[in-house]
Amino acid sequence: MKCPYCGHTDSKVVDSRPAEEGASIRRRRECLECGRRFTTYETVERMPIIVIKKDGSREQFDREKVLSAMLRAFEKRSVTLDRLVAAVSNIEQKLQNYLSHEVPSNEIGEMVLDEIKSIDKVAYLRFVSVYRQFKDVDSFLREINQLSEDKK
């Protein structure tokens, strides 16, 4: 690591500790040339997740979009924000584990549905009715019946 004071490339680590809730490591270093100390942070480099939309266009995965959609589905439901953030993190982790870093939007939508379904059935029905664009009451009833069967 290059010293920010003298530019020397040799330093020793004098202290390491987790930072940002374990997402990175904070290291205190001492330059072997000038003896001054400085701090560095080490983080995991992640490949960006690219979402392939229905029209074929591509955009970078945005966890805030997913969280926003989930918040609308959970409006006036007794679920904490922390639980929803954890669900979004779970989805993002699954996407990071994909072999390909380009994922069709419908696969992400299905992951969101699965997460919502495991948390709250009413929020699931809200989300699925918009996501699958129900055209009539029968479509809605079929989904409710499917939920009832899954419960058994």
pLDDT band (50, 70, 90) for residue 151: low
Instruction: Pull the structure tokens for residue 87.
Output: 């669900």
Residue 12 CA to residue 28 CA, distance in Å, equals: 9
Residue 50 CA to residue 52 CA, distance in Å, equals: 6
Is pTM, for the whole model, over 0.85?
A: no
pLDDT band (50, 70, 90) for residue 152: low
Residue 142 CA to residue 145 CA, distance in Å, equals: 5
Alpha helices (H) along 1-152: 63-73, 81-96, 105-119, 121-131, 137-151
pLDDT tens, residue by residue, 16-67: 999 877 778 999 999 999 999 999 999 887 789 999 999 999 999 999 999 9
